[in-house]
Amino acid sequence: MDILIYGTVNSIALALMALGFALVYGISRVPNFAHGALYVITGFIAWSLLRGLGLNYLLSIVLAIIAIGVVGALIYQFVLIRVRGMAISEIIASYAIGLAILEGLRWGGFKGTTYTLPVFIEGSINIGDIPVDLHRLLVIAIGIAVVAFLWLFTHYTRIGLALRGMAQDERAALMLGIDSDIMAVVAMASGAMLAGLAGIVLLPLGNIVVEKGYDVLIQAIAVCIVGGLGSWMGAVLAAFLIGFAQILTVVYLGTHFQMVVALLAIILTLILRPSGLFGMQKELEERV
Amino acid sequence: MLEATGLMVFYENMLALNNVSIKCEDKQIVGVFGANSAGKSTLMYTISGIMEDIRKKEDMAGGERITVLGQVRFLGRDITDLKPSKRAREGIVLCPERRRIFPECSVMENLRIGAYLATSSQAKDTLEYVFKVYPPLERLQKRVGGFLSGGEQQMLAVGRALMAQPKLLLMDEPLLGLSPRIQSMLVRSTKEIRDEKGISIIVTEQYARPVLPIVDYAFILENGAAVLEGPRDEVLDNPDVRSAYFGVS
């Protein structure tokens, strides 16, 4: 029972971490290696607004997420746009930005265990005989809400549909009047906001520490590779796979093996099925 | 309506378009015929501005050096420097070679992505019109694009282009690889679209025979140069053309 509950929480947490990465890669084929840094810095922004300026918690969260969206758009507009289409340069550029943010934070004195965000709701309830704190249940609810929102957004709104078109065939989208640069900025901004949201939701479960940035990045990449790069639904399903595998590992093998799961999943996927478990693209060969 | 003058396109040192001038009057169907690698697709890409995007990407990735010279005027305005998305907004929409429909989206979603530039009432009207011209699409609405047959994909590609509210529709080899029956249906519908919607159309093909009956004016491309142009009947009567493009000696 506890495996089921904590597995679900862990899986949804992974999905939240990975969705932003999957979104950006799916639409503009930019592997955003600054993802983990955006996750962590949102936590610090919210913390600064909350503790430093003494703003209301909800207001600080909203402001922090908007701020990170702007940061994402700026990163694309001023850095990534210059290296579009060169995979290695995109990785190096975005990773460098991530490093700069994370190590800049460390240099600026944001380290140690003093930085925590309060949980949204205090308290816990018992499911069966297992105590679960309410914040973890809230994580599940928010995760489901985010996935539902993304699905609705990409199936029923003009911009969402245009983003999907761009993801599948950028040139065909261009012919229909969809501006690929604007769409890529939108994708990057929303990817950053998703990373930020994940940070805001998940960071109250622990301390805000710089190291989490690297950790989140690896988890997100693992989930996306297993799910099939660029496939959002694949990412969600892969998050459950890896999420439960991690919890099972923790229960039966020990906590320190948890990180191995994600890395092993990457290796196994690349050996057995390089396009990922749910990569659709390969099945739909062009018919002539 | 459209007037392209002195178009020259180089891929590195290879000349793909050599001083091609082409024009399309209001509500005309213009045919551009030529063999493989005569420069038909390059011409379509240059008019629709996609060439500019390809050039930029190649340039950034350090790939092929592409040079585009010449001028494109549309509705009396110089659009040579406009991005492809801006040109689509002006009304030049390309229905590309090999269709390039979105393979993971359903037929309906493909059409709705096509309607990115349309207002919601325009989208509604055009959708009705597309289903009227291509009735099979209405039945296939929920089918995923990648699983359609070639003919269905072509109908979808034209329908999707129509959703973008074109004033000038560029069709690059719309009949490629399709059965004669579908070909004649597509040719008929192309004329219908011109007559009913008043959309000017430029269509390229390797084989002139199926398309020529609906064409008002024709250009023949050879090795990147326009070697012959004229009203349909004049081109039809030219002995060289007859032997080269109709198999009539």
Q: What is the mean pLDDT of residues B37-56?
A: 94
Q: What CA–CA distance (Å, rounded) separates B213 from B232?
A: 8
Query: Nearest Cα to A32, choosing from A90, A82, A88?
Result: A90
Give the residue extent of every domain in chain A.
2-108+130-209
Q: What CA–CA distance (Å, rounded) separates A7 from A129?
A: 16
Structure tokens at B39: 């420069």
| CB-based contact B6:B69 (threshold 8 Å) | yes
Of A162, A172, A285, the CB nearest to B100: A172
| CB-based contact A243:A136 (threshold 8 Å) | no
Query: What does the angle CA A203 – CA A206 – CA A211 come to, to the nearest 5 degrees?
Result: 80
Task: pLDDT band for B248, please (50, 70, 90 cuts).
Answer: low
pLDDT of residue B93: 97
φ, ψ for residue A274, nearest 5 deg: -60, -25
Query: Nearest Cα to A197, choosing from A56, A46, A51?
Result: A46
Of B102, B109, B117, the CB nearest to A177: B117
| Length in residues, chain A | 288
At B119 the three-state DSSP class reads coil
Q: What is the mean pLDDT of residues A220-226?
A: 94
What is the distance in angstroms between the Cα of A224 and the nearest Cα belonging to chain B?
Answer: 18
- Provide the b/e sequence for A180-209 (b: ≥16 CB within 10 Å): beebbbbbbbbbbbbbbbbbbbbbbeebbb
Q: What pLDDT digit, counting tens, does each position of A95-106 carry?
A: 999 999 999 999
Q: What is the mean pLDDT of residues A148-167?
A: 94
pLDDT of residue A102: 95
User: Closest residue of B to A174, CA-based?
Assistant: B85
φ, ψ for residue B92, nearest 5 deg: -100, 110
Residue A280 pLDDT > 60, yes or no? no
| CB-based contact B187:B162 (threshold 8 Å) | no
Query: Nearest Cα to B90, choosing from B80, B105, B100?
Result: B80
Residue A284 pLDDT > 70, yes or no? no
- The answer to which of A37-51, A112-126, A148-162, B223-237 has the lowest mean pLDDT is A112-126
Model confidence, pTM:
0.90
Q: Is the CB of A287 less than 8 angstroms away from the CB of B89?
A: no
What is the distance in angstroms between the Cα of B161 and the nearest Cα belonging to chain A?
Answer: 7
Residue A285 pLDDT > 50, yes or no? no
At B20 the three-state DSSP class reads strand
| CB-based contact A199:A40 (threshold 8 Å) | yes
Q: Scanning the structure block, which residue is given the tokens 């693992």?
A: A222
Task: pLDDT band for B247, please (50, 70, 90 cuts).
Answer: low
Residue A57 pLDDT > 90, yes or no? yes
User: Closest residue of B to A89, CA-based?
Assistant: B61
Residue A288 pLDDT > 50, yes or no? no
Q: What pLDDT digit, counting tens, does each position of B143-199 carry?
A: 999 999 999 999 999 999 999 999 999 999 999 999 999 999 999 999 999 999 999
Of B57, B102, B117, the CB nearest to A169: B102
